[in-house]
Amino acid sequence: MIFDPPLQPATLLRRYKRFLADVILEKTGQEVTVHCANPGKMIGVAEPESRIWVQPATNPNRKLQWSWLLTELADGHLAGIDTGVPNRIVAEALQDRRIPAFADWPDIQAEVRYGERSRIDFRLSRADGSVLWVEVKNVHLRRTGTLAEFPDSVTARGAKHLDELGTIVEGGAQAAMLYVIQRTDCDHVTVAADFDPVYAAAMARAAARGVEFYAMGTEISTEGIRLSVPYPVILPDPS
**pLDDT tens track for 57-110:** 999 889 999 999 999 998 899 999 999 999 999 999 999 999 999 999 999 999
Mean pLDDT calculated for residue range 131-158: 96
Instruction: Find the range with the poorest average confidence among 87-96, 111-120, 213-222.
Output: 111-120
Mean pLDDT calculated for residue range 217-234: 98
Q: With bands split at pLDDT 50, 70 and 90, how would you rate the model's confidence at 211?
A: very high
Residue 93, SS3 per DSSP? helix
Residue 133 reports pLDDT greater than 80: yes
Q: With bands split at pLDDT 50, 70 and 90, how would you rate the model's confidence at 115?
A: low
Mean pLDDT calculated for residue range 231-238: 92
Residue 176, SS3 per DSSP? strand
Q: What is the DSSP letter of 74?
A: G
- Contact in structure between 122 and 136 (CB atoms under 8 Å): yes
Q: According to the model, what pLDDT value does residue 221 have?
A: 98
Q: What is the DSSP letter of 11?
A: E
Rg of the chain in Å (alpha carbons):
18
Residue 20 to residue 39: CA distance in whole angstroms: 10
Residue 39 to residue 37: CA distance in whole angstroms: 7
Mean pLDDT calculated for residue range 119-124: 94
pTM for the structure as a whole? 0.95
Residue 179 to residue 231: CA distance in whole angstroms: 9
- The total number of residues shown for the chain amounts to 239
Count of alpha carbons within 13 angstroms of residue 141, beta-carbon side: 21
Residue 19 reports pLDDT greater than 90: yes
Beta strands in the chain (DSSP E): 8-16, 20-25, 31-35, 51-56, 66-72, 78-80, 107-114, 118-125, 131-139, 141-144, 147-150, 174-181, 188-191, 212-220, 225-231, 233-234
DSSP H or E segment with residue 202: helix 197-209
